[in-house]
Amino acid sequence: MATTAPPLHDGCEDAWSWSSTDKSHEVKVHGSRNETALFHPNWSNGTAGVRGNRVLNWGRFYWEVRLSHRVFGTSMMFGIGTRRTRLHIDEFINMLGEDDQSWGLSHKGLLWHGGTSTPFTDPFPEKQATTIGLLFDGIKGTLTYYKDGKCLGEAFTGLNSSSSELYPFVCSTAAKTEMTLDSLRRGMVSLEDRCCVTIATHLKSETEARGLLLPSMLKKNIVRECSRQSNCNSPMAHLKSPCSVT
């Protein structure tokens, strides 16, 4: 039986984390790259959220959120939103999708946007670890969800019409719950994009990138990619090219 290739398998590794500033006071981020968010470390009296520091618009991105076995409570959510998306409220609510600034899937299997919900998938089993994958396609304007490697289908459309920057978000009402980022991938939306990633892989620093005799816009993109790759905490001189150029 043929196996299905993972989302954006022909792209490259990406590098972003949960924000250490754009978050609820009831969220603690930790890990070597702030990849893990701990919600309500002591007890919960509301809904806490955290924003990822990746702008999604007009790109293709895939990321996974690994949930610890503590899956329970009013709402644990995974999705995207603008900078106007709330990060905390002293109430137990479905915070992602409470208005037109965010889109989210709750652990109870409901999609939320604009304050209304739609059944989408079966509720997640409580007290059981699971992994949620999100595939954002800024060209098509869609957000697709995966659960434990299985595609659940396209959840939201029309996202490419947003005039605001969009970011990954998660939130939880449940005490002592953790969500960890994994399998960050970025798709190549053009040959230029693919070339910039490949060139940056073979450079040692942003300074070296700035010294390239290339057009300023192309050089800017390579410098930005060097910065992104250095955030992976991997020495670039020892990296293999993360993208195929064939």
**240 band by pLDDT with thresholds 50, 70 and 90:** very low
Three-state SS for 193? helix
Cα–Cα distance for residue pair 186/10, rounded to 1 Å: 9
CA angle 202, 203, 207 (to 5 degrees): 170
Of 3, 2, 1, nearest to 149 (Cα)? 3
User: Which CATH architecture fits 12-186?
Assistant: Sandwich (2.60)
Q: Where are the domains of the chain?
A: 12-186, 191-238
Q: What is the pTM of this model?
A: 0.82
Which pair of structure tokens corresponds to residue 65? 């959120």
* pLDDT, tens digit (0-9, with 9 covering 90-100), for 23-82: 999 999 999 999 999 999 999 999 999 999 999 998 999 999 999 888 999 999 999 999
Q: 80 near 74, Cβ under 8 Å?
A: no
* pLDDT, tens digit (0-9, with 9 covering 90-100), for 134-143: 999 999 999 9
Q: 62 near 183, Cβ under 8 Å?
A: yes
pLDDT of 237 > 50? The answer is no
Dihedral, 111, 109, 124, 63 alpha carbons, nearest 10 = -30
Cα–Cα distance for residue pair 205/135, rounded to 1 Å: 30
Pairing of strands 12-13, 177-186: antiparallel
**230 band by pLDDT with thresholds 50, 70 and 90:** low
